């Protein structure tokens, strides 16, 4: 096992009625004037009214900023920062899914930063302080409620970038009430579950050695998603299935299931350009790109991909032909995503003509790094490799 | 999944050289004058010298209290409380295994309590404050470095009692460096591993429904112990095996693997009287009593014990005779403990004559609870049942 640190794990309030704790918890983390941040979608408005009443009961003042969209925008973060400064806001409560939480993290960092918040997203600055942040999650997917990252799209330059690995960015508490996800429509449920599965896979395909327990914990997460996601899609009000998805999401992204290993994460960078280009759900893009990526790289480590097939899907290991097992695992993952109704190819969600030039442009936008100018911690991909993967996903 | 909360999870510093962070971390949690608490055993003294130097480098003052023994004593806690008050100590650093950490928790609670610290151990008071507490762990077993419990023996009345389920009792940080456990002798290693395995089992045998993920995570922990404990016993300096044990211990006890389920915990209460009576290692007592307890109760839920056999040991399920599978699982657990060199019966470690009266007295000391005056959250045991279990373990 590699050396690692796990710091600032948020307090977790899991279960029915958890949102009723939000006023007390905001007070405990030092809030006196709270920014309530949300998407403003109709389903969330009754919850927002409840939140306001609970804050009032604790004697807390508040302001409100809605309008967060999927693949959240930098302009909204800037608006929130202005609002916090004008109104003397000292704490933030995000009520929503990953987009709202990521937006709230940007606001909470930017409000106490004497510079442009975009600095944190393009590596020009490291946050030294943040407004205390609480979360009421309404969606199982990104796990942003436990993570130390925020992903934002800058409309000015068309770049989607993440500020990550900042321990202090973790929320102070996360309220996870699966009841709040019972109304999430099937396609969004499937997209969220695909995002969770992708986070498990990104970590699973590691170059770190000595990851026996790490792989066991990640496989436990995979089994849970594989079993419960189809149930949640078919029976939206199945509390048990919603619960299972809702707890795996933060556990994988926080490091509690991966512990010290280094994940690959190329698929996330490849997908970010897809959701930037076509404004598709992140999870749907990942469902397309992950099996394509696996097919592109698996020959570099057949034993690892064969182990995935066995660990994740219980496929019988072919001792004479391990490559067959590896390929069966990739096929099983593709079939799993398809069973959720996720697209299998880019052409499944984008019916127009897509030129090679567009794919080249997308591949060109990715922030490659290191001496070899690549992405992927385990399997190094150049811009040319990424372009090939986009083409194979068409 | 049941409703649950996970709060105050300690910051985790895992890996080589982690102890070098202790000065900085003690300062971060607000320490200015630190009580260094340890057992005083020869192996720990060089580490204590390092700790002192690191505290000095951070400008922190300190006092020292050693002499903690296995099954830690209330008198030592009282001594520590007096010392803290006399010397104006404002923080505690425990350097050792579960006994030292449990003792440090008692001191940290008692130093800021205007009453007798024993109140917390016999249900007469709930702690409202605690000195900030840090841990450098030197032993993989109890997981006290992450837990919200402390178990102490009161020499005045011979009672071993726990103060538990107090979130604020969790240490603020835990430094886990597997290198510090490389010198733990085989029998203590085996005893610690048996304690970890017992914590996994106590949680596994739950009456809580809808525990798919919980069982998966607990099984991941079991596989890790079953694979790595024999390696750590045979090859004490095997870093990978030591790492695996060191991380499972706090993860299971903290709730990170069990999530919201309610464990049974009868075995722990039954064992406490064994280590009180004969001053044996807690883990060795658990290795004896757990399979005996399983044999005593399994008929009440054969499917659960058959599932344990499949989940923990990969035993093939006998669809026609599930009871055979259940019994195979119990036999496999007994064989696992024996393979570590743990005793299988009380007579393996206590060669003298043990009268029925002694066993009756031990069963009588246990704090039964509830309307039926029993222990065990899943399988209710009366004093008579416990006596039968002691007899079966002879």
Q: Spell out which residues of chain B touch residue A314, defining contact as CB-CB under 8 Å.
A: none
- Cβ within 8 Å of residue A319, ≥6 positions away: none
Rounded to an integer, what is the distance from CA B107 to the centroid of its chain? Answer: 18
Q: Where along chain A do its domains lie?
A: 11-181, 186-392
A16 pLDDT tier (thresholds 50, 70, 90): very high
pLDDT tens readout for residues A295-322: 999 999 999 999 999 999 999 999 999 9
A279 pLDDT tier (thresholds 50, 70, 90): confident
* A260 has a chain B CB within 8 A of its CB: yes
Pick out chain B residues at pLDDT < 70: none
How far is it, in rounded angstroms, from Cα B348 to Cα B369?
Answer: 31
Of B213, B248, B260, the CB nearest to A213: B248
* Contact across the interface for A212 and B219, Cβ inside 8 Å: no
Q: Spell out which residues of chain A touch residue B210, defining contact as CB-CB under 8 Å.
A: 240, 243
Q: Mutate which of A2, A4, A12 to disrupt the B interface (most B C-beta within 10 Å)?
A: A12
Q: Give residue for tokens 């979608």.
A: A41
Whether B10 and B173 have beta carbons less than 8 Å apart is answered as yes
- Cβ contacts below 8 Å, chain A against chain B, sum to 104
Strand order in the sheet with B91-96: A4-6, B11-14, B173-176, B133-137, B91-96, B33-37, B61-65
Q: Spell out which residues of chain A touch residue B227, defining contact as CB-CB under 8 Å.
A: 212
* Contact across the interface for A260 and B15, Cβ inside 8 Å: yes
- Cβ within 8 Å of residue B340, ≥6 positions away: B190, B193, B194, B229, B230, B233, B287
* B220 has a chain A CB within 8 A of its CB: yes
- Could you confirm whether domain B11-181 is CATH 3.40.50.1970? yes
Closest CA in chain B for residue A18? B3
Whether B239 and B27 have beta carbons less than 8 Å apart is answered as no
Of A1, A223, A247, the CB nearest to B243: A1
pLDDT at A292 > cutoff 90: yes
Whether B216 and B271 have beta carbons less than 8 Å apart is answered as no
pLDDT of B279 reads 86
pLDDT of A261 reads 94
pLDDT at A352 > cutoff 90: no
Nearest to B227 by CA among B236, B240, B214: B240
- Ranking A214-223, A249-258, B159-168 by mean pLDDT, the lowest is B159-168
> Cα distance from B4 to chain A (closest Cα, Å)?
5
> Cα distance from A54 to chain B (closest Cα, Å)?
20
How much of chain A exceeds pLDDT 90, in percent?
A: 96
pLDDT at A351 > cutoff 90: no
A1 pLDDT tier (thresholds 50, 70, 90): confident
Taking each helix axis as running N to C, give the angle between helix B98-110 and helix B74-87, from 0 to 180 degrees, rounded to the nearest 10. 50
Nearest to B393 by CA among B325, B336, B343, B328: B343
Torsion angle defined by CA atoms of residues B287, B288, B289 and B290, in that order, rounded to the nearest 10 degrees = 40
Q: Name A133's bridge partners.
A: A92
Nearest to A288 by CA among A374, A140, A391, A366: A391
* Contact across the interface for A14 and B259, Cβ inside 8 Å: yes
In B166-205, the residues whose Cβ lies within 8 Å of chain A are: 178
* Contact across the interface for A7 and B11, Cβ inside 8 Å: yes
pLDDT of B306 reads 98
Task: For residues A331-340, give the mean pLDDT.
Answer: 98
Of A11, A14, A220, the CB nearest to B260: A14
Q: Spell out which residues of chain A touch residue B219, defining contact as CB-CB under 8 Å.
A: 216, 220
DSSP-derived pairing of the beta strands B159-164 and B149-154: antiparallel
Q: Spell out which residues of chain B touch residue A261, defining contact as CB-CB under 8 Å.
A: none
Q: Give residue for tokens 């009282």.
A: B78
CATH hierarchy code of domain A186-392: 1.20.1090.10
Phi and psi for B125 in degrees, rounded to 5? -155, 155
């Amino acid at each position: 096992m590699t050396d690692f640190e796990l710091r600032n794990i948020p307090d977790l309030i899991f279960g029915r009625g958890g949102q009723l704790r939000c006023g007390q918890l905001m007070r405990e983390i030092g809030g006196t004037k709270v920014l309530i941040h949300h998407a403003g979608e109709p389903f969330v408005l009754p919850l927002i009214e409840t939140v306001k009443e609970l804050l009032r009961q604790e004697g807390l003042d508040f302001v409100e900023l809605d309008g967060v969209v999927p693949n959240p925008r930098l302009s909204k973060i800037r608006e929130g920062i202005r609002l916090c400064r004008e109104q003397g806001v000292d704490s933030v409560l995000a009520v929503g899914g990953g987009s709202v939480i990521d937006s709230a993290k940007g606001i909470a960092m930017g409000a106490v930063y004497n510079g442009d918040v975009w600095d944190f997203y393009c590596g020009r600055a490291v946050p030294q302080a943040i407004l205390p942040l609480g979360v009421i999650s309404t969606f199982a997917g990104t796990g942003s409620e436990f993570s130390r990252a925020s992903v934002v799209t800058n409309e000015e330059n068309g770049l989607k970038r993440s500020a990550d690995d900042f321990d202090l960015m973790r929320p102070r508490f996360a309220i996870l009430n699966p009841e709040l996800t019972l109304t999430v429509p099937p396609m969004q449920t499937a997209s969220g579950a695909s995002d969770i599965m992708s986070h498990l896979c990104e970590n699973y395909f590691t170059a770190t050695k000595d990851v026996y327990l790490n792989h066991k914990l990640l496989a436990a997460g995979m089994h849970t998603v594989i079993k419960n996601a189809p149930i949640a899609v078919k029976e939206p009000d199945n509390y048990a299935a919603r619960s299972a998805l809702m707890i795996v999401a933060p556990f994988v992204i926080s490091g509690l299931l991966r512990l010290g290993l280094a994940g690959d994460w190329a698929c996330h960078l490849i997908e970010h350009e897809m959701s930037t280009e076509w404004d598709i759900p992140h999870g749907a893009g990942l469902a397309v790109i992950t099996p394509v990526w696996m097919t592109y790289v698996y020959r570099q480590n057949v034993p690892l991909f064969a182990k995935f097939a066995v660990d994740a899907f219980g496929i019988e290991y072919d001792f004479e032909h391990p490559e067959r097992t590896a390929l069966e695992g990739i096929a099983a993952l593709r079939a799993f995503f398809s069973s959720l109704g996720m697209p299998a190819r880019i052409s499944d969600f984008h019916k127009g003509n897509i030129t090679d030039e567009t794919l080249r442009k997308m591949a060109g936008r990715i922030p490659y790094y290191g001496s070899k100018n690549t992405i992927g911690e385990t399997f190094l991909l150049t811009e040319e490799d990424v372009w090939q993967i986009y083409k194979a996903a068409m």
